[in-house]
């Protein structure tokens, strides 16, 4: 059957008002009335976001005849029957400066397909063609996306990417985000595959050559890890290149993976400038984010839970396995900084120690397993509040420690003959390599331990049950000792502990979190209390911070704290505790 493709267009017609216009044209609409919808969430960010709320105006016509269009739920519309070509037009507000949505102003446009492209129900598997138009009056803009150009557009010259694109279906259409504007761009080849680094924002002196060199090493290390023989990049089945799109602001951080690209946000101070030779902590953090999102090209975009194969973007897709897909990726992201030579071993051990300390600092780890955290991502992890550290554990951070512990366990049990690497490559062979070319099966909920045994010969059912499905602390000290690594805990300072985390609000200090069973909890203090005085001395966010004031006291001393709770002055008596041991240091054991 010769089906005509679904035609889309995108026009950033009002940059000052942050509005983009998209059209959807269907040659053979459903005779009884075409149903269309916007996704309710975006893969990789597990929260219902209701992107349809940004649709300001929507209309439909059959040829030249206007049709009625009626909304039937939060993100779905039904169009009156059409016997000819159906065209639907939507004006969408695009002012979400994040990796998840759409953002348009006079400096640039960034568009995730889930925020701007309507789905034609019953036509999801039709091929799609997209035409991109430039904004009015904006000269010098260019387009950057991993979406393949149509065969017609590939023959054209001089469009700067404002051209026609073609993908195999709707799922592919919404999985190639689009950046347009006047960014700083550099390119490199990794294992024969083209890669593009795109930086949007005001970034004076950006050292593009250095970033390209470092990112190339990371990409090549990961490609060779999954494909040691062919050394073929995974995205070549759906794109001619991989694109890193980075929005740079004063204080941003985040990333979201796609099948042949990633959207990143980075802080300006974290990026290297020309002449800056040292690898700062901020730059390492940025490279770790790059490594994390690139690893997702294999683990999540192709190897994925059965619950995500395929995605249902109209509602929550529940799985207990995000600790594997996000947690294992969080383990390998810094590990590939080491393996690629971007950082050295002492730096890696320091970074790993910080990761361990962050998990141990969360009281919620004793209440929620990473499997539960995965399942509850939709309602708890992505909706955190002031009590979340006491109630939740991160499937990212503790999941990475589960990966570390399993890796150490396998290596010890097999005397170094096998590792978690073998498990990842088996999952790639079985679930990932052919995912977009006919092998679309995901990892079943209870399948992982059997895969470990198949790949390595090691039975880890008990460890997985205890570490991933239970709330047990992972015996990392013992596991490290088996590999010649020592783990030591120490206090970051001698300042007594008050058992709370504070945040700056103007010139005041406000309690952000009260840690369960700590001094502040026992005293009766609460999140959002505005700190006024400690033992008669004013608290502020400049000189008289909480830490500065309590440094004059000893553990066991009682102090009087005045706060405003709402508009009421309250007084509390707090007994200071010894400084918490919050620093974890890892070192290679020395032999005499």
pLDDT at 1 over 80: no
pLDDT tier for residue 213 given thresholds of 50, 70 and 90 = very high
Alpha-helical regions (H) of 414-518: 420-427, 448-456, 461-467, 476-481
Asked, colleague to colleague, whether 183-282 and 298-485 share their fold, the answer is yes
For residues 235 and 146, the answer to whether their CB atoms sit within 8 Å is: yes
pLDDT at 273 over 90: yes
Residue 312 region by backbone torsions, left for phi larger than 0, else alpha for psi between -120 and 50, else beta: beta
The topology (CATH level 3) of 6-177 is Immunoglobulin-like (2.60.40)
User: What are the extents of the domains in the chain?
Assistant: 6-177, 183-282, 298-485, 500-575
Q: Is the pTM of this model over 0.85?
A: yes
Q: What is the pLDDT of residues 527-548, one digit of tens each?
A: 999 999 999 999 998 889 999 9
Q: What is the pLDDT of residues 501-537, one digit of tens each?
A: 999 998 899 999 999 999 999 999 999 999 999 999 9
> In CATH, which superfamily holds the domain spanning 183-282?
Neutral Protease Domain 2 (1.10.390.10)
- What is the helix, strand, coil percentage profile of the chain, to 5? 30, 30, 40
- Residue 42 backbone dihedrals phi, psi, to 5 degrees: -115, 130
pLDDT tier for residue 592 given thresholds of 50, 70 and 90 = very low
pLDDT at 158 over 70: no
Provide DSSP, 537-568. EEP-SSSS-HHHHHTTS-TT-EEEEEEEETTE
- The fraction of the chain above a pLDDT of 90, given in percent, is 92
- Poorest-confidence range of 143-157, 202-216, 265-279, 495-509? 143-157
pLDDT at 319 over 90: yes
Report the candidate in 563, 572, 552, 578 with the shortest Cα–Cα distance to residue 498. 578
The topology (CATH level 3) of 500-575 is Pdz3 Domain (2.30.42)
> Who's near 68: CB < 8 A, 6+ residues apart?
60, 79, 80
Average pLDDT in the chain: 96
3-state secondary structure of 283: helix
> Who's near 456: CB < 8 A, 6+ residues apart?
410, 413, 414, 418, 419, 422, 423
What number is the average pLDDT over the span 124-150? 94
**Which pLDDT score is estimated for 299?**
98
CATH number of 298-485: 1.10.390.10
pLDDT at 153 over 80: no
Provide DSSP, 317-353. ---S-HIIIIIHHHHHHHHHHHHTTSS-HHHHHHHHH
Cα(143)–Cα(168) distance, rounded to whole angstroms?
20
Q: What is the pLDDT of residues 412-471, one digit of tens each?
A: 999 999 999 999 999 999 999 998 887 678 999 999 999 999 999 999 999 999 999 999
What number is the average pLDDT over the span 99-118? 98
State both tokens at 334: 């810094």
């Amino acid at each position: 059957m010769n089906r005509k493709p679904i035609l889309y267009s995108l026009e950033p017609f009002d940059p000052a008002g942050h509005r983009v216009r998209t059209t959807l044209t269907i040659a053979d609409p459903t005779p009884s009335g075409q149903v269309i919808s916007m996704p309710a969430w975006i893969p990789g960010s597990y929260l219902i976001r209701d992107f349809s709320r940004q649709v300001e105006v929507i209309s439909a016509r059959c040829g030249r005849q206007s049709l009625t269009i009626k909304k039937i739920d939060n993100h779905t519309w039904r169009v009156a029957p059409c016997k000819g070509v159906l065209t639907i037009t939507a004006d969408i507000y695009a002012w979400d400066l994040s990796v998840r949505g759409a953002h348009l102003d006079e400096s640039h446009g960034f568009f995730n397909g889930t925020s701007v492209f309507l789905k034609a129900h019953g036509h999801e598997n039709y091929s799609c063609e997209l035409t991109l138009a430039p904004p009015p009056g904006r000269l010098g803009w260019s387009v950057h996306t991993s979406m393949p150009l149509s065969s017609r557009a590939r023959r054209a010259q001089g469009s700067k990417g404002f051209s026609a694109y073609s993908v195999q279906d709707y799922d592919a259409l919404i999985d190639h985000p689009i950046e347009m504007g006047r960014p700083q761009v550099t390119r490199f080849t990794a294992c024969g595959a083209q890669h593009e680094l795109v930086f949007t924002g005001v970034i004076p002196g950006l050292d593009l050559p250095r970033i390209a060199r470092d990112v190339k090493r990371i990409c090549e290390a990961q490609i060779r890890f999954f494909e040691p023989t062919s050394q073929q990049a995974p995205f070549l089945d759906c794109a001619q290149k991989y694109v890193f799109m980075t929005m740079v602001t004063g204080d941003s951080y985040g990333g979201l993976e796609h099948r042949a690209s990633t959207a990143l946000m980075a802080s300006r101070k974290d990026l290297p400038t020309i002449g800056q030779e040292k690898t700062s902590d901020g730059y390492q953090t940025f490279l770790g984010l790059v490594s994390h999102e690139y690893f997702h090209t294999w683990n999540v975009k192709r190897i994925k839970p059965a619950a995500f194969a395929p995605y249902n973007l109209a509602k929550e897709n529940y799985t207990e396995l995000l600790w594997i897909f996000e947690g294992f990726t969080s383990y390998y992201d810094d590990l590939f900084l080491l393996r690629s030579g971007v950082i050295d071993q002492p730096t890696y051990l320091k970074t790993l120690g910080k990761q361990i300390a962050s998990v141990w600092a969360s009281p919620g780890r004793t209440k929620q397993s990473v499997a539960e955290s995965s399942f509850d991502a939709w309602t708890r992890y992505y909706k955190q509040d002031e009590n979340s550290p006491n109630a939740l554990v991160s499937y990212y951070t503790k999941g990475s420690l589960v990966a570390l512990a399993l890796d150490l366990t396998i290596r010890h049990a097999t005397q170094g003959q096998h590792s978690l690497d073998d498990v990842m490559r088996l999952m790639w062979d079985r679930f990932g390599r052919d995912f977009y070319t006919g092998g679309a099966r995901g990892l079943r909920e209870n399948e992982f331990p059997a895969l470990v045994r198949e790949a390595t010969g090691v039975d880890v059912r008990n460890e997985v049950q205890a570490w991933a499905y239970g709330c047990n602390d992972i015996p990392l000290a013992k596991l490290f000792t088996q590999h010649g690594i020592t783990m030591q805990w120490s206090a970051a300072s001698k300042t007594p502990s008050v058992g709370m985390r504070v945040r700056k609000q103007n010139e005041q200090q406000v309690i952000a979190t009260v840690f369960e069973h700590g001094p502040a909890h026992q005293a009766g203090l609460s999140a959002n209390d505005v700190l006024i005085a400690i033992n008669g001395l004013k608290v502020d966010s400049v000189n008289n911070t909480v830490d500065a004031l309590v440094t004059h006291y000893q553990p066991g001393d009682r102090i009087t704290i005045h706060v405003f709770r709402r508009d009421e002055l309250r007084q509390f008596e707090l007994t200071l505790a010894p400084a918490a041991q919050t620093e974890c240091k890892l070192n290679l054991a020395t032999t005499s």
